[in-house]
Structure 1
Amino acid sequence: MPTPQQDTIRHTMTVSAPVSLVYDLVAGLQRWPEFHGPSVHAEPLGQRDGRDSFQHWWVIDDHTVRSWTGYWRFDRNALRISYEFEPEEPDAAPSRGQFAFLALSDTSTEIRAEQTASGPGDFPTDRADQELRELLERFRYAAEQAELLNDLVVDFEDPLFVAAPPDDAYRYLYEADKWPERIPHVSRLVLEEPTPNVQFFDMDTLTSDGSAHTTRSVRVCLPGTLIVYKQIHLPKLLDGHTGHWRFTTTREGTVLASRHTATIKPEALSILGPGTTVLDARRYLRRVLSSNSMSNLRLAKAYAEERVRD
């Protein structure tokens, strides 16, 4: 019988930002996908034994997603966040760790991160060490660039009421392989679903101004309630693009909402023409992303309501 093995990794990083900002950034698990490449989604599952539980999904490569349940304890007074991870994969080791925060000054913070994993045989600490280092680097970037990102990130949600239960509208948007025949601005889509409700696809689209884009996305689908997506191969104008389709049941039907969080790439502004400003790019993205989203929402609404009438 293999002997359990424990490996602990530790890292310390100084961040040029106030401790309250850094703490809130780390504690905001559901916003990690905006600035941390592997993070796709953290779905809250409620409290257990005084801890907040989440289902986490991280993209490992262009074809693989890793998932696990995380139990988090947030102690703002002590400036400490601790966690335990239970992986879904049978050959993956559980782990636990913490982030501790120390205010070095009003504008400087030290993060001390520690993670311990236990499992049989040789545990791949090199990958865990690299992932922790990269996560801390992204915390530093997001904290130190918070003011700039406030201008570069376009974040909005478009809702639409559907006079039908959520099932058909969900199916319409879940069946992405059928979009080229259903959605006018999608000209090509190649879908793969390596595990149930986790999808990758390459897609060619046209925006409302006639511009063509090719992207690769990963989606996590929670049947009947939520489809989360993240573009992992981005259009040239963006440094990041995440979002979701949310299906909220009401007594009268369903509120179907589309959310986008897109990060502008400053060095790519000239794609929109000479002299383009960040504000110009914000207005452009809000217009074209919303236009495509509302088109999709209306098509899903029509599809669902037609089946109610039938």
Structure 2
Amino acid sequence: MTGERVHRTSHSAEVDAPAGVVYGLISDAARWPLFFPENVHVERLEFDGTNERLRMWATTGRGVRSWISERTQDPGTRCVQFHQTHPQLPVTTMHGTWIVEERPDGTSRLTLLHDFAVLGDSAGDLAWAEQVLERNARAELASLTSLAERWRRFDDLVLSFEDTVRIDAPAEPVYDFLYRVGDWPELVPHVTRLELTEDTPGVQIMAMDTRTADGATHTTESVRICFPHAGRIVYKQTRTPALMEAHTGEWNVVCDEHGVSAVAQHSVVLREEAVERVLGPGADLARARRHVREVLGRNSTATLQLARQYAQSVTRAA
């Protein structure tokens, strides 16, 4: 690493939540797309209870990048160390540590350290890397703080569910229907507009207008990561309806000896301050949960039923 010096940044936040709660959010990287606005998807590749390898996707400007991160969890000291195995140039090394300190009054101090080097120690590249780390670290600390400080209501704010449609057809046309999202305005009645960009195969960036049962139109923006060999498409909404602070999901086509199960999975963090504004005076989180479950479930189930019709018609025609 000739000519390259290691630089360090440090960012901290005071969190009005127990240290165990804060550490739990950091250690559960698979759910980071719900916690951090930039994170799109996290795949755990290996985990032995202490050491793990993660494949991570995140938004950067108007694009999406992916990398492998190796982490070591230490719940005893409430520290998580990480490093990127192949950082994106001009960064040549990237290591870091999450540190959660317990305060005597039951609150926490959360610190995020980064140790990194840039190619040739270029002043311009160093300034760029520091700017990116500054922006991302502040956003991550703010998101974690906001979520952790609502820990007493966490189970009311976060909900996950899935719906399944059985399909008597091969998996390939089912997946094809779900993958060809650019055609949905012609195929899916509740989708009225869709703009799609797929500069990298299997990484889809889209903006979509959907019509609800009451005739209203909602605009969402999403990033989708497609795994054709596994029959999976995972996504993160980067622009959500007013009632949802975060929304991730997955389309999964599963084969068995009797046919195919097409599964739509959703995970949501509710935007508590929008509940009464969206649903009316007196509405609470319980009503918001029922509303989101009904709306998302209805739309995704309708899409799966259309995928079934398409797959079965293609199969009969063949």
Q: Which runs of 5+ in 1 are unaligned?
A: none
1:278 and 2:277 aligned: no
1:304 and 2:311 aligned: yes
Q: 1:303 to 1:88 in 2, by over 3 A?
A: farther
Q: 1:294 to 1:40 in 2, by over 3 A?
A: same
Q: What's 1:130 paired with?
A: 135
Preserved contact between residue 87 and residue 93 of structure 2 (Cα < 8 Å): no
How many matched pairs?
309
TM-superposed deviation, 1:187:
1.1
Matched letter for residue 266 of structure 1: E
Q: What's 2:201 paired with?
A: 196
How do residues 18-167 of structure 1 correspond to structure 2 at under 5 angstroms? 18-47=18-47, 51-61=51-61, 63-87=62-86, 89-105=88-104, 107-120=106-119, 121-122=121-122, 123=126, 124-167=129-172
SS in 1 for 2:36: coil
> 2: distance between equivalents of 1:30 and 1:71?
13
SS in 2 for 1:4: coil
TM-superposed deviation, 1:43:
0.9
TM-score (norm: length of structure 1)? 0.90
Deviations 1:114-162 (A, max 9, x none): 1111231333212112212221221111111122343233321112233
Preserved contact between residue 162 and residue 253 of structure 1 (Cα < 8 Å): yes
Deviations 1:144-182 (A, max 9, x none): 112234323332111223334432211111111000111
Deviations 1:85-120 (A, max 9, x none): 134645443311111222223722222321111231
> 2: distance between equivalents of 1:19 and 1:37?
22
Q: What's 1:288 paired with?
A: 295
TM-superposed deviation, 1:305:
3.3
Q: 1:89 to 1:174 in 2, by over 3 A?
A: farther
Q: What's 2:177 paired with?
A: 172
Identity %: 32
Matched letter for residue 46 of structure 2: G
Q: Which runs of 5+ in 2 are unaligned?
A: none
> 1: distance between equivalents of 2:155 and 2:70?
30
Preserved contact between residue 67 and residue 88 of structure 1 (Cα < 8 Å): no
TM-superposed deviation, 1:279:
2.4
Matched letter for residue 210 of structure 2: T
